[in-house]
Amino acid sequence: MDGTTPIASLILTPQAIAERLAAARARTDWIPGDTPESARQGNGTLIPAAVLIPLVHQERGLTVLLTQRTAHLNDHAGQISFPGGRVEPGDATPEMTALREAEEEVGLPRERVRILGRLADYHTVTGFAVTPVVGYVVPPFSLHPDPFEVAEVFEVPLEFLMNPENHQRHTSSYRGRQRSYYAMPYEGRFIWGATAGMIVNLYRALMA
């Protein structure tokens, strides 16, 4: 894998993940998402937001908790996402935004989440600067998804997402220009776009 380590050979304890995330802050090969020029809103600024990447400790190994958004939403309808949203005035840090949004969207209690670190900000074509916050969650916990925003909550094995053979590259036309993006089809679900890009950044932080 060109200098990377197979995930099956790693012991990914919370401490090891936190150390790898901290060391990765110096990396320069993050996928930034869309360039600021293409992602800017009319006022020339990006909207700060945060998502939680929940790593769930299961007996079979770590999984990543994801949501499928409902089909009627104005933004990213039907897409697969991490719990998250824009920063609100009462949020002192991106971690607070990510925990609050995860609690509101899927009912994940913030006290069940151990924050391990962050990835580099990711710019979306819809004009958000998203800070991905990585958290560690140990069952049992009960989820109560918001039916207005969330159609489904599901988990994907981290081993699958950290395998570069599952990182597909696609291109499409958006507003008159060609865009390239990652996709990771899994059991009939199509993980793509910003979510897949942040997963690839997690791969680069944990596996390289």
In a domain, 22, yes or no: yes
Average pLDDT over residues 100-129: 95
- Return d(Cα 18, Cα 117) in angstroms, integer: 6
Contact 101, 149 (CB under 8 A): no
Locate 12 and state its tokens: 């990914």
In a domain, 127, yes or no: yes
Into how many domains does the chain fold? 1
Q: How confident is the model at residue 207 (pLDDT cuts 50, 70, 90)?
A: confident
pLDDT, residue 170, reads 83
Q: Could you tell me which residue, 177 or 89, shows the higher pLDDT?
A: 89
Domain with 142, as residue range(s), is 12-207
The partner residues of 135 in beta bridges, in order of sequence, read 54, 115
Q: How many whole angstroms from its chain centre is CA 83? A: 8
Average pLDDT, the chain: 88
State what percent of residues in the chain have pLDDT above 90: 69
The reported pTM is 0.90
In a domain, 2, yes or no: no
Average pLDDT over residues 16-27: 94
Average pLDDT over residues 167-184: 78
Q: Which residue is associated with the tokens 């600024």?
A: 45
| pLDDT tens, residue by residue, 30-80 | 998 876 565 555 566 899 999 999 999 999 899 999 999 886 555 554 689
In a domain, 202, yes or no: yes
pLDDT, residue 2, reads 46
The partner residues of 67 in beta bridges, in order of sequence, read 81, 153
Domain at 28, CATH number: 3.90.79.10
In a domain, 1, yes or no: no
In a domain, 74, yes or no: yes
C-alpha closest to that of 193 among 111, 76, 109, 94: 76
